């Protein structure tokens, strides 16, 4: 009656993975917000502005496309990682039947 060992879920690993994926999603959102909604750092010194290099904007076809690319990649990587984490947790929490 030797079966597969029961999977263990490490709470520390789950919390670290969750923080990483949420940080990626928040970083993507902040890049989008900064470039297309309102600058985040305008309160410190109005003379300083953060922009995207024309090399990147010309490469991808414009400013908006560059922002979507810079914001979308970390956001979707975080989203896919978060979905994988949830599936891994659900698979690990499933009990064995006798």
Domain boundaries, the chain: 11-41+53-93
pLDDT of residue 97: 45
At 44-59, the pLDDT tens digits run: 666 777 888 899 899 9
Say whether 85 sits in a helix, a strand or coil: helix
Average pLDDT rounded to a whole number, residues 70-77: 95
Handedness of CA 47, 49, 54, 58 (dihedral sign): negative
């Amino acid at each position: 009656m030797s079966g597969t060992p029961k999977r263990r879920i490490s709470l520390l690993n789950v919390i670290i993975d969750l923080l990483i994926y949420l940080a990626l999603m928040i970083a993507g959102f902040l890049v989008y917000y900064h470039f297309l909604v309102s600058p985040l750092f305008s309160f410190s010194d109005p003379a300083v502005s953060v922009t995207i290099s024309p090399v990147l904007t010309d490469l991808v076809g414009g400013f908006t496309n560059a922002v979507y690319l810079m914001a979308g990649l970390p956001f979707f990587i975080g989203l896919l990682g978060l979905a994988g984490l949830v599936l891994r947790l659900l698979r690990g929490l499933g009990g064995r039947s006798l």
